[in-house]
Amino acid sequence: MLYHYYMKINTKHMLLAAFMAFLLPCVSAQVIVVKQDGNNIYLDTSEHNRQVAVGDTFKVILSQEKLTNPKTGKELGNINHYSAEGKITEVQELYAIGQLPEKENISVGQEVVISSHTLATQPQTAPATQTAPQTPKVTSNRKIYSYPVIDREIISAVKANITPAPGDEIAAIDSKGHLLLYTQDGSSLSQTADYQLPAGHKAITLSAKDIMDTRFAQLFVVVYNEPKQKISTLIFKADGHKLKKIDSVPYFVKEIGCGDDKDLYAQKPFINGAKPGDARELDHEWLRFTLDDDRLPTRGNWLTGVNYHEIQNDDDDNFVYTASNGSIKIRLSNGNYAESPALFATAPNRVKYKQDIISFYPSLQVYGPDGRATLAAVENVAKMGVLSEQFGQYGSSKIHFLTYENGILDVRETIDLNGVVYDTNCTARGILVPQVLSGGQSVLTEIYR
């Protein structure tokens, strides 16, 4: 079960989440060490509640300590202390062999927690590699294409016509503040530009659109200036084989829509404490970036977690947003709401603003005919035994495709991914999803609409 809460969550719910998270591995693991041979660990998987596959990761529970409320004395469960993360290299009918990165003092009988990171169709007789592109597990008929592995943690990526070179390029930002430009060269990606963002600027999201009428898209990088605690958007264009910063605006800028139907909206940060204001479309007039007069009410949500589309019918735009409990909601034409049946959106991309932790949800994509739209929402799954509000403690993710029919917002398709997703963008053909894999690598995956 996934738990996602703000840092200001009340104590009762925090303790309940901690208890369930620490209890979960003990209930569901059912995997025991039966032999150690150097770095190789033999595991009894005969009682495990799901199939183990080559490439799955595991950790041995080395010790436990009780977690107790110091005021009430109430026991809240156990804190597990783990070995280094290993990988399953061989699977037999009743046991599996895993390999640790280095030899540790493991005892027979110790419990093991296994996490799945492999393909449903991957052969179970060869070790997993870290250089081959990883394709998502699919419970859907959608066409999927994964680009080659990138040795960076990509947190947001866009596909657009950015340079005079034929075809579209991919622009991306990584967790270390690099704005990158890639072209597709056969079956590989070639990096053509790298711009390092200023020190102390944390990248949040990336958008691309030609609003200067140059025939080539400009890039809009939202950054959080940690020393000054301010959000702004840096604007770039391609200049030969370099990316050149041409301007900045004091707004949170994000694209909404897909392909040629994209629009760029900008909202003023921190209007009400840690919350932003309403948004307006970003334009370029008289050699400067400006905002038009039409307002897009976001109701205190950041633009990465909202969207507008004629979902209920073809007469009115419906406001779609990520609720504070993690579900997806649609504001209907009569003022009521439809809500998704499960928790989806979770936010590995966060910043500390004064006394608040701000969560920037992965972008919520909406597309399709008016009155028959499809929503694409991200679910990041916490690592087993770890509270999801701890930074960087997610293990994998999913993309859920939802539709609204007869008053119900329901999940129709789900695609399991191998990595963690910070953000998504919509292309002319599909949803562009950067997956951050274990080991600091990423795979850009396009899920066709």
pLDDT at residue 263 above 50? Answer: yes
338, 408 Cβ separation under 8 angstroms: yes
Mean pLDDT within 66-88? 81
Over the range 107-132, which residues count as b (16 or more CB within 10 Å of their CB) and which as e? eeebbbbbbbbbbeeeebeeebeeee
Q: Give the residue, 285 or 128, on which the prediction is more confident.
A: 285
The 8-class DSSP code of residue 56 comes to -
Closest CA relative to residue 395, chosen from 129, 85, 127? 85
Residue-level pLDDT at 316? 79
Residue-level pLDDT at 127? 35
Mean pLDDT within 4-22? 39
Q: Which residue has the tokens 């129709």?
A: 412
The per-residue pLDDT for range 148-174, each reduced to its tens digit, is: 999 999 999 999 999 998 888 999 999
Residue-level pLDDT at 123? 34
d(CA 434, CA 422): 8
The whole-chain average pLDDT of the chain stands at: 82
Q: Give the residue, 359 or 75, on which the prediction is more confident.
A: 359
Map residue 11 onto helix, strand or coil.
Answer: helix
CA-based torsion, 144, 243, 209, 401: positive or negative: positive
The per-residue pLDDT for range 168-200, each reduced to its tens digit, is: 899 999 999 999 999 987 778 899 999 999 999
Structure tokens at 371: 């009155």
Highest mean pLDDT among 89-93, 267-271, 315-319, 401-405: 267-271
* Torsions phi, psi for 291 (to 5 deg): -110, 140
Question: With pLDDT > 90 as the criterion, what percentage of the chain qualifies?
Answer: 44
Q: Secondary structure of the chain: what % helix, strand, coil (to 5)? A: 5, 50, 45
Closest CA relative to residue 25, chosen from 48, 7, 3? 48
pLDDT at residue 228 above 60? Answer: yes
35-49, 250-264, 294-308: which has the minimum mean pLDDT?
35-49
Closest CA relative to residue 231, chosen from 215, 249, 212, 213? 249
Residue-level pLDDT at 319? 92
d(CA 68, CA 357): 26
The per-residue pLDDT for range 388-447, each reduced to its tens digit, is: 444 447 788 899 999 998 888 888 899 999 899 999 999 999 999 999 998 889 999 999
Kindly report the CATH class assigned to 137-448: mainly beta
Residue-level pLDDT at 325? 74
Q: Which residue has the tokens 């066709």?
A: 448
Each domain of the chain, given as residue ranges in start order, spans: 11-115, 137-448
| Extended strands (E) in 332-371 | 337-339, 350-353, 356-359, 365-367
Residue-level pLDDT at 5? 34
Reported pTM = 0.70
Closest CA relative to residue 21, chosen from 39, 36, 4, 34? 4
d(CA 113, CA 24): 10
Q: Are 11-115 and 137-448 equal in CATH topology?
A: no
234, 264 Cβ separation under 8 angstroms: no
Highest mean pLDDT among 1-15, 169-183, 370-384: 169-183
d(CA 302, CA 270): 10
| Extended strands (E) in 305-436 | 306-309, 318-322, 328-331, 337-339, 350-353, 356-359, 365-367, 374-382, 394-405, 408-417, 425-426, 430-436
Q: Taking the chain, what is the end-to-end CA distance rounded to the nearest angstrom?
A: 28
Which residues, 6 or more positions from 215, have their beta carbon under 8 angstroms from its beta carbon? 161
pLDDT at residue 245 above 70? Answer: yes
Mean pLDDT within 338-351? 81
CATH classification code of 11-115: 2.40.10.410
